[in-house]
Amino acid sequence: MPTCPVLRPSGRAVDALRPIVLEPGVSKYAEGSCLARFGDTHVLCTASVDERVPPWLRGQNQGWVTAEYGMLPRSTLTRTDREAARGRQTGRTQEIQRLIGRSLRAVVDLGALGPRQIRIDCDVVQADGGTRTAAVTGSWVALQQAIGVLGDRLEEGAAPLTGQVAAVSAGIWKDQVVLDLDYAEDQHAEADANFVFSADGGIVEIQGTAESSPFSTEAFQTMFAFARRGADALFAAQRTALGR
């Protein structure tokens, strides 16, 4: 690591998150919803309850949580082709939506949820880096609301939500480890990792990637530590959003 670090474009400290705003209940129709803002990254997350399970789960008396992800064409600096018009979701989209679904399922007791499906939709209204971490973090709020709506439909005593998850990125930018990269940093990062943690200290998902050349174990450990602390701030923001 260099002795004389470069200032981040946003002026943030290396281990500082962007301003985080989680606005729940933004949708007139969805059982749960949250507009998650990580700085200029805005992701609209909704949770829809469907009283049927996917075909492969039928008769097993358990539920499912799944997620879909999309970007509005002009959420990005230059316009991105609309996936519906191209007729195909990109590999990146599929990767992200699989990540969101897995992350949420790690804190859901699918048996307690009962034979129903909760479908999460994460739509990026504006993208300035870190859309998948904002999506996971906001989706948990939407999911919590949707499960709250179930009420009597759950079996007595059932508590499908077993924990709290949040996600944040860390990376190496100009030779320094930084937390919660924005687009200006992400474009030139040497490494990039997304961490999904549970509030009780568990690891839900780690995806770390060298962008140009391999990175060191020490750098990874710092990324991990930054992310761990960043996640704590996100857990607090989730609780605040839900008025707890």
Q: Does 51 participate in binding its own copies (rule CB under 8 A)? A: no
For the CB of residue 32, give the shortest distance to its own copies in the complex, in Å. Answer: 10
Would you say 4 or 119 has its CB closer to its own copies? 119
Q: How much is the CA Rg of the chain, to the nearest whole Å?
A: 18
Residue closer to its own copies, measured from CB, 22 or 49: 49
Residue whose structure tokens are 């508590």: 159
Shortest distance in whole angstroms from residue 205 CB to its own copies = 5
Residue 219: which of 192, 197, 187 has the closest Cα?
Answer: 192
Residue 160 contacts residue 143 (beta carbons within 8 Å): no
Of 60, 61, 187, 216, which lies in the binding site for its own copies, with binding defined by CB under 8 A?
216
Of 112, 114, 174, 207, which one interacts with its own copies (CB under 8 A)? 207
CB distance 22 to 137 below 8 Å: yes
Whether residue 227 contacts residue 193, with contact meaning beta carbons closer than 8 Å, is answered with yes
Q: Rule CB under 8 A: is residue 220 a binding residue for its own copies?
A: yes
CA separation, residue 21 to residues 130, 222, 241 (Å): 14, 25, 8
| Contacting residue, 203, 229, 236, 240, with its own copies by CB under 8 A | 203
Nearer to its own copies, 16 or 93 (CB): 93
Minimum distance between the CB of residue 15 and its own copies, rounded to whole angstroms? 18
From the list 1-9, 15-23, 57-65, 82-90, the region that binds its own copies by CB under 8 A is 82-90
Q: Strand 64-71 and strand 117-126: pairing?
A: parallel
Total binding residues for its own copies by CB under 8 A?
69
Query: Using an 8 Å Cβ cutoff, are 39 and 128 in contact?
Result: yes
**Judged by CB under 8 A, which stretch of 4-12, 42-50, 151-159, 231-239 contacts its own copies?**
42-50
- Tell the burial category of 161 from Cβ atoms under 10 Å away from its Cβ (0-12, 13-18, 19+): middle
Q: Which candidate, 16, 5, 4, 11, places its Cα nearest to that of 178?
A: 16
Q: Is 139 in the site for its own copies (CB under 8 A)?
A: no
- Tell me if 65 contacts its own copies by CB under 8 A: no
Check residue 202 for interaction with its own copies (CB under 8 A): yes
CB atoms < 10 A from the CB of 115, how many?
17
Which of these, 121, 113, 126, 132, lies nearest to 52 by C-alpha position? 113
Contact residues toward its own copies (CB under 8 A) are 27-30, 33, 40, 44, 46, 48, 50, 68, 70, 72-79, 82-95, 97-98, 102, 106-107, 119, 121, 123, 125-126, 128, 162-163, 191, 193, 197-198, 200-210, 212-217, 220
